[in-house]
Amino acid sequence: MSPTSPSNPSRPSNPSRPDPPSPSNPFTGSASTTDAWRHLRLTVDSGVATVTLARPDKLNALTFGAYADLRDLLPELARDGSVRALVLGGEGRGFCSGGDVDAIIGATLAMDTRRLLDFNRMTGQVVRALRECPFPVVAALHGIAAGAGAVLALAADFRVADPTARFAFLFTKVGLSGGDMGAAYLLPRVVGLGHATRLLMLGDTVRAVEAERIGLISQSVPEGEADDAARALARRLADGPALALAQTKALLAAELDMPFSAAVELDAATQALLMNSADYAEFHAAFTAKRPPEWRGV
């Protein structure tokens, strides 16, 4: 399947859905869209973007180029304005085995501190982009999600996994801090401090049953069905009220470190703004007419 730009005019459309906000909005960015991505595969279908890590012979191990593509792609999709949900998956036997040992670990041994800082900031920017993009991200998980791959899954809003899924935060096992790419911030907030301490310090593999028990998996599905289930969830999200979902994601991130009184005030201000939205009025019109709402995301 060939890479597809999010602005490709041949992309399938949904005639029942009103046109999304114009991707040429000058307030969201001035850069043109990328025609092809070299280190991952992108398809977009009626508001659902699918990003596939496609190095199956290497268990989708990440290279410098793959990190850079992910860092740049996510803000580009956000600027495009037509993407309402994203599925992140891996081709072949697993989701992602982490950073490529030869292409990254070997190469970083020859770098000075400035270059190493640039690299580590880039990997963190990927996670920030996943957390800050204005649409839900669904990770489709099977096989191994290790190292950076585990953090990519962690950074998604939903993790849909089959019984073969395994997580391993391996950073201490290569002599580095377990708090890589924001893992020490995100993981305690997903599974609690006790489980996060164990997973990040020991680097042990966590299989699907335990991962679901501690809250690391959002939805469990039968073997081989993670991709389809993730796409179905993304479709459900994309067909929903995009503006409301975007603000919910933003509030979940913003309020993690807020005092309660500030969080309640932010909730109030956000709701007041959304009550002026077309989608809020559409719900009332649809309820009155006894029909499903036609969400526009505005």
Q: Give dist(CA 70, CA 164) in Å, integer.
A: 25
Angle between helices 260-274 and 242-254 (to 10 degrees): 170
Q: Tens digits of per-residue pLDDT, 63-81?
A: 999 999 999 999 999 998 8
Sheet holding 219-220, edge to edge: 41-45, 48-53, 85-90, 137-141, 158-161, 219-220
For residue 15, what pLDDT is reported? 37
Q: Give dist(CA 69, CA 208) in Å, integer.
A: 29
SS3 sequence of the chain: CCCCCCCCCCCCCCCCCCCCCCCCCCCCCCCCCCCCCCCCEEEEECCEEEEEECCHHHCCCECHHHHHHHHHHHHHHHHHCCCCEEEEEECCCCCECCECHHHHHHHHCCCCHHHHHHHHHHHHHHHHHHHHCCCCEEEEECCEEECHHHHHHHHCCEEEECCCCEEECCHHHHCCCCCCCCHHHHHHHHHCHHHHHHHHHHCCCEEHHHHHHCCCCCEECCCCCHHHHHHHHHHHHHCCCHHHHHHHHHHHHHHHHCCHHHHHHHHHHHHHHHCCCHHHHHHHHHHHHCCCCCCCCC
Band (34; pLDDT cuts 50, 70, 90):
confident
The whole-number average pLDDT for the span 122-151 is: 97
For residue 24, what pLDDT is reported? 52
Q: Give dist(CA 47, CA 259) in Å, integer.
A: 35
For the cut 50, the answer to whether the pLDDT of residue 124 exceeds it is yes
For residue 225, what pLDDT is reported? 98
**pLDDT over 90 for what percent of the chain?**
85
Q: Tens digits of per-residue pLDDT, 1-26?
A: 334 433 343 333 343 344 444 445 66
The whole-number average pLDDT for the span 258-282 is: 96
Q: Which residues touch 117 (CB under 8 Å, ≥6 apart)?
A: none
For the cut 80, the answer to whether the pLDDT of residue 127 exceeds it is yes
Mean per-residue pLDDT over the chain, rounded: 91
Q: Give dist(CA 86, CA 206) in Å, integer.
A: 25
Q: Tens digits of per-residue pLDDT, 163-204?
A: 999 999 999 999 999 999 999 999 999 999 999 999 999 999
Q: Which residues touch 262 (CB under 8 Å, ≥6 apart)?
A: none
Higher pLDDT, 47 or 106: 47
For the cut 70, the answer to whether the pLDDT of residue 126 exceeds it is yes
For the cut 80, the answer to whether the pLDDT of residue 210 exceeds it is yes
Q: Tens digits of per-residue pLDDT, 215-250?
A: 999 999 999 999 999 999 999 999 999 999 999 999
Residue 15 is which amino acid? P
Residue whose entry in the numeric block shows the structure tokens 């996994």: 161
The whole-number average pLDDT for the span 254-276 is: 96
Task: Report all structural domains of the chain as residue ranges with CATH numbers, in order of start.
Answer: 41-238 (3.90.226.10), 242-289 (no CATH)
For residue 59, what pLDDT is reported? 96
Lowest mean pLDDT among 25-34, 126-135, 270-279, 281-290: 25-34
